[in-house]
Structure 1
C-alpha cells in the first residue's frame, strides 16, 4: 500500500484557472479521441482494424511498423483539428477532424474518413469501432481500489432506446447516453449512418472460377461455374453492431485489449473459408464503456457528435447535433481551416518571408502537432522519500494525492505526458500562437509544485499513464524530490510577461475562441500570482542543488549505480542524460550548465518581479544575477585562460580538483543564455567551437558533444553528439538577439554563423520531414542528418517554426 503525503494547494493559482470544462483532443496518446479538461472526464473516439484481423489501431504506438506517420496538418489548440494517418499496412489514408461547436459550448464532433493510399492496390474492408468510456482515472490512494464515493464523477453510460437486438445489428443511427458530474451532468453521443462506404458486393465474394471445355471442333469455350452476379453479402455487414464493455472500471481505458475480446469471428461463406470480426450485439443497462462498430469499404466517412444536455430541450439538442454532422460539419470545418490559415500568416508571416508552399505546410504541421499534443491528465505521482548519505532519496515510495495537469507533451508516441524541462520550450511555441492557452498550461504546471517549491520532473499521472509506462525504463516513473531539472519553465513565464502581452488579446485574432474569463484576466494579477511559486521553485533549486563552495551548483542524482552502457555515470537531472561528466561522482563537483541556468533564472526573476511591481525583489534578484555571473567565470573559466588556444577559454565542469572539459552543450550554454559580455574572449572561444566541424559544427546544426571527444557517440548515443533543436534554437537566439547586433570584436563572426546555422538547421529538419513525415527527437550529427530516437517528436523539435518566423522571444539575458 502507498503512503499518502501532503501536496501544495495554491489558491491564488486555482482562482486564475478557469473551472469551465473544455472539450478537445486532450488524450494525445490516442490516435482519434476527445475528452474534457476535467478529472474523471468521459472520453470517446475511434479505433480501427482490417475486418478480418484483430490488429487494432487505437493508441499511437500500435502497429508502428504499419503506420508510417500520423500528423495534425492544422490544429488551433482549442476549436478544431485535421489529422492524417498514413497506414501503409492497410493501404489506408485515414483523415480525422475534430470540431467544437462554433457557438454552443460543450458540444463537439469527430469525423473519420478513409481512402486507399495507393489506388492501384487492393484494400480490405475496414472495421471502424467507435468507443465511449466512463471510468475513473485514478484509484483511491489509501486503498488502491476504485473510490465508491467518487463514482458520480465519471458516472455511467449506455445505449438509448435500442430495439430487440439480433445478430443482424442496427440499421439506424446509434445514440449513447450518459451522466457524469465531472462534466456537468447528462450527455448524449450520436453516431450517424456513414455518408460513404457502402459495401461492395465484390469485396466479399470469392473469385469467379472459370472452366475450359473443349468443343466439337476442338476449340475451347468458357463456362462460368456460378452466376455472373456474385451473391449479396450477409445482411449483418451493412448495419451497426454494438456491445457494452465487459471491463472493470479501472481497466476500461485499455480499448485495444477489451475490443479484441469483444469481437467474434463470423463466417461469410457456408463453408467457413472467409470470416470477419464483428461485435456480438449484446448490451447492458450500464457499463464502463460502449462500442459501436461498422464494417466499411473505403472510401468512407462517418460522423459522431457529443452534446452536454445542460438546460437544453430535446429540440435544441437535435438541432445542435444536426449542425455538427453531415454537410454542416463540412462547412464548419472548411471555415475553421480558412481562419487557421489566415491567422497563421498573420502571426508568423511565412508567406511574406518567401517560404515555399511545402515549407509552409511543414511549419503548420510543426505548430499543429504541438497544439494537438496538449493533454489533460489527472492522477497521483509516485515519489521517493528518505535520504541516503549522498542526499539521494531511496527509502519509501509514496503516492501523492491526485492532481490535474494541462500540458503540452514531447511526443504522442514516446512521451505522451508532461515533462518539466521540455515544457519550457513547448510553451514558447504555444504562446507565440495563443498566449491565453499558454497561460493555462503554465498556471497548471506551477500549481503542481510542492510546498517547498519542488516540481516533479516527469508527470506520470493516473492509472493509464502508469500502466502504459515503458517497462524497460519503469524505474524512472518514480520521482525523486532530491533531483531537479533545468528551470526552463521560467522561460515562457518570463517571456509572456516581458513581451508585454495583454492576455485579453495578445497575438490573437477576433475569432480566436477565448472565453470572457480569459479575455478579462489582468496581466499584473497573473504576474503577482505566478511570481510567488516561481520564486519558491528557484529557492528550492538553490538550496538543494548548491555546490560545496558558495554560489556554485551541482546536479544531484549522479551515482555509479545509474550508468551508461559504457559504464560512466548518467546525469538525468541535467536533462542531458548520457552527456559525460566526471567519471567518479562526488560532492565537490560543480556543473557549468546548472550554474548557467541559475544565473539566467535569477535575471528572469528580476524582470518578472519588475512586471509584478515588486521592486525590492527585482533589485535582490538582479544583484544575485550579477554575483552568479561573476562566480560562473571565477569557478568554471579560471584555469588555463592565459594561453592563445581557443579551447583554453571554454568554461567547463570541475570535479573538485581539476577542470573536466567535454566540449558540448554545457560549455557553450553561457553564450546560449546571453551570460557573456560581447567583448569577452570566451565568446570568441565558443564561436570557434560552434564553427569548427571537428568540434561542434554539423550539416544538421550544432552537435551536443564535440566530435573530438573520446565519448563522442558513446553511452546511449543520445546527448553524446546528436543534434538537438532546443540548444540550436538558443544558439540562434543568442546570435540573433545579442552577439550579432551588439558592438564587440566577434559581431560579424556571430552574424555569419547565425545565417549559416539557421540555414543548416531548417534545411535538415525540412528534408527529413519530407522523407519521413516526422519531426524527430534529435538528428544524426554525421552522415545525412537523419532523424534519431523518437519519431513523431513534435515537442521542442517544433521550434523550427519560431526559427522560420524569427521569433526568439527575448529568452536570453
Structure 2
C-alpha cells in the first residue's frame, strides 16, 4: 500500500518536473498518431494501405497481380490473402509499423517473385512503396500484370477527389495524381518505373487502349463501402472487354492474350475517385509509388526511395536486436525476425458497423447451438488490433489479442497501449466487449455467416486485462525508479519528439498512470459484466459437506453459450467437458480467468492508489483461490477439474461429480500463477503432470489433452491433443515464476528435488518448442496455428502469426544457465 510520505514525494516530483499531465497526454497522442498514421493496415490484402483514424474520407490503396500470358490467369488474380492461393511463401521479412518493412511473395503458379517495400518520411506524413518483381523460372514465358488501385473516399457531394494529372514528362512510364480530402488535405501521388521490362509482343495490340507495353489507367466511381470488391470489379470489366474483343476477333491468337487481359474503359465510365493502374511486365520490374502531403517539410523525392529503404531496414534491425538480444549469428535470428515481423504485419485498422443480437434469450437448459437471428447493425465503431492470421482470421479476437500484446510489451510498449486503448473503447454501457470484432463488409466477407453475429451473453478469456495490468505494473516500477533517481539528482525527464520509437511510456510513466485513472470506471464495468454474465449455480452443491463449510458463494462460474460438443467462449473450443451438459456445471477455467481478471484489477487499483478497491479485489482474489481448491481440486486424480451435479448420487458428498480431463484446463490455475507459492503439494502434482511423457509432455511441447484421456485425438482434434504455443508459453512463464525466481528456493532442502525437476522441464520444454517450430518454418516457410502432437508437423491454419509468434519471446528471453 502506498504511504503518505511516498504520495508527498510523488507530488513533489510532479511539481519539480513542471509538466501538465493533460498536456503531456495530448502531446503523446499527437506524436504517436503521427508515427502510426500510415501503414499496411489492410492486412487481409497481400498488400493494402490506409491511414489510421481517418474514417470519413480515407485514402485507400490495394495491390493485385496475375499472369496474363494465358486466359487462365484472369481466374487467378491475387488480392485478399487466401490459403487456397497456395503460394510458396508470403509475408514480412522485416517490418515495424512506425518505420516500414519488406513483404516478399513467391508465387510459383504465376512464376513470380514479388516484393513490396513500404517506408515513411521522418514526420510519418509521407510514404513510398517500392514494388519489385522477376521471373522465378527464366525459361518460362510470363506476362505479369501488377494492378494498383487507389481510391479517395468521400460522399458524392463532398470536395474530395483523386485525379490523374496530365503528363508533361518525356517518360511515358511515369504517372502522377492529385488528391484531396478534408481529413488528409491535399496530396500528390506519383508512380514511376525504373527501367522495367514491359511486355511487348511482335504483333500490335488488339487496340491502342489495351496495350500491355505501357501503363494503363482506368478511372471510375465505386461506392466507399464497395471498394473491398475491387478485384471483382476488375475481373468483371476484363470479362466484358474480352467479350467485346472476341465479337470482333473470334480467332483470338494466344500471343494477343496479354493485350486482351489489359483493362480498358469499355463502358465509357466518367472519371471518378477510383484509379486502376495496370502494368504488365515480361521480366524484371521495379517501380515506386510515392505519396506526399502538400506543404509537408519532408516530402519524399523520387531518387531518395532506395536510400530511405536502406535507412528503414537498418532502424528495424537495430530495434529488433535491442529489444530481443538475439545474436546475429544465432541459428534462429532470421526466423525470429521474420516471425515477429509477421505478427506486426497483422496489425490492422477496422472501421464500420458490427452485427449484434441483443434480443435472443439463452435457454440455460438447452445446450443446442443457439441461432442468433435477431441481429442489428451497431456502430460505426473502430478497432486498432492485430489479427491471428491474415488469411483465415483477419479480424479482432478478444482472447488472442492479450497474447499478441504480451509479445509486444518489451518491443513497443506504446503500441501495446494504443491497441489496448482501442479495445477498451469498445466497452459498451453494460460492460461488454465482443469476443470477435468484425467491422464492416470487408471484414465480414472473410467470416462464415454463422459466426458474424455477436451476443452480449457470451464472454471470452479476459487476456487484455492481463496485458494491461502488466504494462501498468512496469510503469509503476519505472515511476518509483525515477523518483529515486531524481532524489539522487540523476534523473532527466524525456521530452516527446518526432523520433517516436515506441518507448515513451517507459520514460514517462505518469502518462500511462493518468490514462489508467481515466479508463478505470469502464474497466470496472467490464469486470462486473464478466462476473455477472458468467455466474454459476453454486446453490446446487451446498449439501456437499466438503463444499458447504468452506466455499465462497459469490465465486463460481461457467461459460455461457457452451453446447453439447463445443465450448467456444472458453477459447478451447472442443476441449472435453461434462457429458451430458448440465445447468449446474462449473468450469475451472472460467473461475481461473475471473481470478486473473481480479488480480489485474487489483494491480490497476494499486497503481492509481485506490486503497479500498485494492482491499476489495484482494479479498475476491483470495476467495477465488480458495474456491479453486474447495470446488475444483480432485484429491484422487490430483488435478483441477470441472464439476457437474450428479443426479444419481447416493450420498451428499457424491452430489459433486468431478469432470477431469488432464490437459490445458487442468493446468490453467498454475499457468496463470493463481496457486500460492506455499501450496507446494499441488505445485508438485502439477509439475509431475507436465513432466509425464505418457500423458502431456511430448518432444514438441505440452499436449492440449492427455494421451490417456478417452477423448484424446478424437473428433476435430483441435484442442484434444495438438500443441498450442499460447498455453505452452504461459506454462514456461509459470515454471520460471514458481521455480526459477521463487522465494521457495530459500526453503529447506526438501524442495531441492522439486526445483531440479522444474529446471529440467523448463529447459527441455522451451528447447523442444523452439526447435520444432523452427524446423517446420525452415521446411514450409510458415508457422502454424498448432503443432501435431504425434510428429510435430504444423497443423490448423497456415501462417498463423498470432500467438504462435510467442516462440520469438522464448528465443529472446534467455535465462542464465540453470
TM-score by length of 2: 0.82
Aligned to 1:23: 38
Q: Which residue in the other structure is 2:175 paired with?
A: 174
Q: Distance in 1 between matches of 2:778 and 2:278?
A: 35
1:83-115: per-residue Cα shift (whole Å, max 9, x none)?
A: 111111122211110111124x42111111012
**Residue number in structure 2 paired with 1:196:** 195
The SS at the match of 2:186 is strand
Q: Tell me the residue number matched to 2:292.
A: 307
2:580 is aligned with 1:605: no
1:803: how far off? Answer: 0.8
Structure 1 counterpart of 2:530, from 541, 545, 552: 541
Corresponding residue of 1:626 = 622
Structure 1 residues 362, 174: CA separation in 2 closer, same or farther (over 3 Å shift)?
A: same
How far off is 1:417 after superposition?
0.9
2:336 maps to which residue?
363
Matched, 1:583 2:579: yes
Q: Could you say what the CA RMSD is over the residues aligned between the two structures, in angstroms? A: 3.3
Match of 2:147 in 1: 129
The range that moved more, 33-42 or 538-547, is 33-42
1:592/1:652 contact within 8 Å kept: yes
Deviation at 1:205, TM superposition (A): 5.2
Q: Distance in 2 between matches of 1:188 and 1:293?
A: 19
Aligned to 2:60: 43
Aligned counterparts of 2:466 and 2:407: Cα–Cα separation in 1 = 11
Residue 108 of structure 1 pairs with residue 127 of structure 2? yes
**Structure 1 counterpart of 2:325:** 349
What is the distance in 1 between the residues matched to 2:186 and 2:317?
36
* CA distance, structure 1, for counterparts of residue 352 and residue 63 of structure 2: 24
Residue among 615, 624, 645 paired with 1:656: 645
Check the 8 A contact 1:407/1:441 in 2, yes or no.
yes
Select 2:119's aligned residue among 88, 94, 99.
99
State the match for 2:521 in structure 1. 532
Q: Match for 2:316 among 340, 348, 363? A: 340
Q: Note if 1:552 corresponds to 2:547.
A: no
Q: Tell me if structure 2 keeps the 8 A contact 1:552–1:590.
A: yes
Which runs of 5 or more structure 1 residues have no equivalent in the other structure?
1-10, 137-147, 164-168, 207-229, 561-568, 809-813
Structure 1 segments of 4+ aligned residues over 6 angstroms from their partners: 11-16, 266-271, 501-506, 515-521
The alignment partner of 2:129 has SS state of: strand
2:475 partner SS? coil
TM-superposed deviation, 1:57: 4.0
| Cα deviation 1:330-356 (Å, max 9, x = unaligned) | 1111111111112211111111xxx74
Task: Work out whether 1:381 is the aligned partner of 2:354.
Answer: yes
TM-score normalized by the length of structure 1: 0.82
Equivalents in 2 of 1:176, 1:605: separation in Å? Answer: 51
The alpha-carbon deviation at position 451 of structure 1 amounts to 1.2
For 1:257-336, what aligned pairs fall within 5 Å after superposition?
257-263=232-238, 264-265=241-242, 272-274=253-255, 275-276=257-258, 277-280=261-264, 286-309=271-294, 311=295, 320-322=299-301, 325=302, 327-336=303-312
Range with greater deviation from structure 2 (706-715 or 677-686) = 677-686
Call closer, same or farther: CA 1:170–1:584 in 2, change over 3 Å.
Answer: farther
Question: SS of the counterpart of 2:390?
Answer: coil
Matched, 1:34 2:70: no
Q: 2:684 maps to which residue?
A: 684
**1:583, CA displacement in angstroms?**
1.8
Aligned residue runs from structure 1 range 563-574, under 5 A: 569-574=565-570
Q: For residue 541 of structure 1, report the CA deviation from its aligned partner.
A: 0.9
Q: In the aligned structure 1, how far is the partner of 2:332 from the partner of 2:399?
A: 28
The answer on whether the counterparts of 1:484 and 1:556 sit within 8 Å (CA) in structure 2 is: yes
2: CA distance, partners of 1:702 / 1:711: 16
Q: 1:799 aligns to what?
A: 806
Q: Does 1:596 align with 2:592?
A: yes
Please, which runs of 5 or more residues in structure 2 have no aligned partner?
1-21, 480-491, 539-552, 647-656, 746-750
Whole-angstrom distance in 1 between the partners of 2:726 and 2:415? 21
Supply the distance in 1 between the matched residues of 2:179 and 2:731 (Cα, whole angstroms): 52
Q: Which residue of 1 aligns with 2:218?
A: 243
Assess, with a 3 A threshold, how the Cα gap between structure 1 residues 348 and 339 changes in structure 2: closer, same or farther.
same
The 3 A distance-change label for structure 1 pair 468 and 436 is same
| Alignment counterpart, residue 422 of structure 1, candidates 396, 400, 415 | 400
Deviations 1:602-657 (A, max 9, x none): 112111211112222122111111111001110001x4x2x5xxxx2101000123
Alpha-carbon offset, residue 688 of structure 1 = 1.8
Q: Is the contact made by 1:56 and 1:62 (CA closer than 8 Å) also made in structure 2?
A: no
Q: For 2:63, what is the secondary structure of its paired residue?
A: strand
Which structure has more helix as a fraction of its residues? 2
Aligned residue for 2:228, secondary structure, equals coil
Match of 2:443 among 462, 465, 487: 465
The residue aligned with 1:406 is 384
Alpha-carbon deviations, 1:20-40, whole Å to 9, x = none? 671111000111121000224
Equivalent in the alignment of 1:666:
665
Cα distance, 1:171–1:236 mapped onto 2, change above 3 Å? farther
Cα offset for 1:659?
A: 0.4
Change (3 A) 1:510 1:252: closer
Measured at CA, do residues 72 and 509 of structure 1 come closer, stay the same or move farther in structure 2, by a change above 3 Å? Answer: farther
- What number of residue pairs does the alignment pair up? 719
